[in-house]
């Protein structure tokens, strides 16, 4: 075998270069994990946000001051509700926060006749959000940022070279080349259906 590679350097080069590139890319991608501190703050984010809903029959999730407020706008049932998640980057655990619709909503037939000109706004109580202090700044206090878009964070050179996903979205927490994928955010197509809500700063 040694003689084959020695007598045919082109074959040796052709077989060795891809392996060398793989090792190099894996080494480069592992450097931020060693040099950048892990994320410290839980993040709140919503999926399916605005994908099938219109502005008059939808749940709206927003941070007002330092509290999360959830309101239902409209009097008809939405086609699809957003789902709210809390992710702990220290443990990797994710929890879905239940968003319960107000009772008595009429079926949504898609007819604009049934939609009132001034939609009704109904506050939604969410026990899992009660008492949480949330920071909606683009950067967490530890310097991590929320990133959502095609293939998530563009710093992943290895996966960008060997995998193409034109319409797929993946949300992540990113800082100085280190990235942490957020659960339940992959597989979204044709739009920004993942929405950042905020960082849980206490409790």
| 165-177 per-position pLDDT tens digit | 444 568 999 999 8
47 and 128 inside one domain: yes
Residues 27 and 86 in one domain: no
**What CA dihedral angle connects 148, 151, 153 and 158, to 10 degrees?**
170
Residues 126 and 29 in one domain: no
Answer whether 0.85 is exceeded by the pTM: no
Residue 148 has pLDDT above 50, yes or no: yes
Rounded to an integer, what distance in angstroms lies between the CA atom of residue 98 and that of residue 47?
A: 13
Q: What is the DSSP string of 150-202?
A: ETS-TT-HHHHHH---SSEEEEEEEETTEEEEPTT-TTEESS---EEEEEEEE
What 8-state DSSP symbol labels residue 130?
A: T
Q: Which residues on neighbouring strands pair with residue 122, listed in sequence order?
A: 72
User: How deeply is 178 buried, as exposed, middle or buried, from its count of CB atoms within 10 A (0-12, 13-18, 19+)?
Assistant: buried
Q: Which helix (H) or strand (E) holds 30?
A: helix 9-35
Dist. CA 148–CA 181, nearest whole Å: 10
Q: Which residue has the higher pLDDT, 30 or 145?
A: 145
Look up the domain containing 17 and give its range.
2-35
Same domain? For 31 and 64 the reply is: no
Same-domain status, 90 and 126: yes
pLDDT digits over 30-89, tens only? 555 667 899 999 999 999 886 555 567 888 999 999 999 999 988 888 877 899 999 999
Q: State the total domains in the chain.
A: 2
């Amino acid at each position: 075998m040694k003689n084959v590679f020695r007598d045919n350097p082109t074959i040796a080069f052709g077989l060795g270069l891809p392996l060398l590139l793989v090792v190099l890319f894996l080494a480069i991608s592992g450097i931020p994990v060693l040099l950048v501190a892990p994320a410290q703050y839980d993040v709140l984010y919503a999926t399916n946000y605005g994908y099938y809903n219109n502005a008059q029959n939808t749940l709206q999730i927003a941070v007002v001051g330092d509290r999360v407020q959830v309101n239902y706008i409209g009097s008809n049932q939405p086609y699809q509700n957003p789902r709210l998640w809390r992710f702990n980057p220290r443990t990797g655990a994710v929890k879905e926060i239940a968003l319960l619709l107000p009772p008595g909503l009429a079926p949504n037939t898609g007819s604009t006749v049934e939609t009132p000109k001034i939609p009704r706004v109904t506050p939604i109580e969410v026990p899992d959000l009660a008492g949480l202090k949330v920071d909606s700044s683009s950067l967490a206090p530890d310097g991590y940022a929320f990133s959502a878009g095609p293939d998530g964070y563009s710093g992943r050179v290895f996966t960008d070279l060997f995998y193409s996903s034109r319409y797929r979205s993946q949300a992540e927490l990113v800082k100085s080349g280190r990235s942490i994928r957020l659960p339940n955010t992959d597989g979204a197509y044709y739009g920004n259906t993942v929405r950042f809500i905020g960082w849980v700063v206490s409790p």
